[in-house]
Amino acid sequence: MHELALAQEVIRIIEKAARDQAFSRVRTVRLEIGRFAAAEPEALRFCFEVAAREGVAGGARLEILELPGAGWCPGCADTVPLESAWDACPRCGGRQVRVTGGTEMRVKELEVD
């Protein structure tokens, strides 16, 4: 389950921010996860709770915001929405769509004390 490693990395990011910005407690963590990021939100929530038990993020609420998938279609010369990384272009049906969005995962915002 790689979600535990992802949760631990989020905790490291939070702890570094706490040192750099001198806060002592995190109330809420807003995490953006792309549709194609290969992270299961419920597993990540569970792992975050385990990883955050002690320290500055202990008891913090994790809010996960799912980012949509997107790709560049050379046939349309435009960015198009994608439900799956292997979808054809929804506009022209072309199969050479290159994924350009929905693979990211980032800490978007922290509510802190």
What pLDDT sits at residue 50?
94
Question: How far apart are alpha carbons 24 and 97 in whole angstroms?
Answer: 45
C-alpha distances in Å from residue 90, one per residue of 5, 34, 56: 35, 19, 45
**Which pLDDT score, from 0 to 100, does residue 57 have?**
96
Q: Which domain holds residue 87?
A: 3-112
What CA–CA distance (Å, rounded) separates 1 from 88? 30
Q: Are 83 and 42 in contact (CB under 8 A)?
A: no
Number of domains present in the structure of the chain: 1
In three-state form (DSSP H/G/I as H, E/B as E, the rest C), the secondary structure along 10-66 is: HHHHHHHHHHHHCCCCEEEEEEEEECCCCCCHHHHHHHHHHHCCCCCCCCCEEEEEE
- What is the reported pLDDT for 54? 87
Q: What is the pLDDT of residues 83-103, one digit of tens each?
A: 999 999 999 999 999 999 999
CATH number at residue 55: 3.30.2320.80
The predicted-structure confidence for 15-72, as pLDDT tens digits, reads as follows 999 999 999 999 999 999 999 999 999 999 999 999 999 899 999 999 999 999 999 9
- Contact at 8 Å (CB) between 71 and 98? yes
Decide if pLDDT at 1 tops 70: no
